[in-house]
């Protein structure tokens, strides 16, 4: 009887240890995948902000029908600059018109790797919001 209690106690103790270690590893994974909004060193497009504006202007294709209809405005796109500089999780924050929204998302998804943001000297995931202007001259 005493042996059975010891075995039950050991099993319960091992279950607690396993549960605790699983919770700790999950917390560390979540911490490592945390997305920051502001960090010590913000992510940067290769060549800086002017190069990013040039990239957008050179790659945006204003849909012909939308131009003819005179539709213009600012589409805001949100994305994450990953630890390795890749752009991911591109999504629409502010819409103007479906074709313009789609084009802004396409151009952001096609961006080259950025210099990643850093927090405490280490590369981290950073959320970035980018307004993309569609303006007719």
Predicted pLDDT at 30: 54
Q: Which residues contact 39 (CB under 8 A, 6 or more apart)?
A: 117, 118, 119, 124, 126
Predicted pLDDT at 13: 42
Predicted pLDDT at 137: 81
Which DSSP state fits 136?
A: -
Q: Are 100 and 74 in contact (CB under 8 A)?
A: no
pLDDT tens digits, the chain, 137 residues: what are they? 555 555 444 444 444 444 444 433 333 345 678 999 999 999 999 999 999 999 999 999 999 999 999 999 999 999 999 999 999 999 999 999 999 999 999 999 999 999 999 999 999 999 999 999 999 98
Collapse the DSSP code of 137 into the 3-class scheme (helix H, G, I; strand E, B; otherwise coil) and give the result.
Answer: coil
As a whole number of angstroms, the distance between CA 50 and CA 107 comes to 16
Length of the chain: 137
pTM of the model: 0.75
Collapse the DSSP code of 127 into the 3-class scheme (helix H, G, I; strand E, B; otherwise coil) and give the result.
Answer: strand
As a whole number of angstroms, the distance between CA 34 and CA 10 comes to 36
């Amino acid at each position: 009887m005493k042996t059975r209690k010891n075995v039950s106690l050991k099993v319960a103790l091992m279950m607690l240890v396993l549960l605790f270690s699983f919770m700790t590893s999950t917390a560390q994974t979540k911490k490592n995948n945390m997305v920051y909004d502001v960090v010590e060193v913000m992510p940067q497009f290769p060549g800086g902000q002017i190069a990013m504006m040039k990239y957008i202007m050179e790659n945006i294709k204003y849909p012909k029908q939308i131009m003819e209809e005179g539709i213009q405005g600012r589409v805001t796109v949100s994305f994450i600059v990953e630890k390795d500089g890749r752009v991911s999780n591109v999504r629409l924050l502010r819409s103007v018109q479906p074709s313009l929204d789609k084009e802004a998302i396409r151009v952001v998804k096609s961006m080259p790797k950025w210099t990643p943001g850093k927090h405490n000297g280490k590369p981290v995931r950073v959320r970035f919001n980018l307004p993309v202007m569609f303006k007719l001259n």
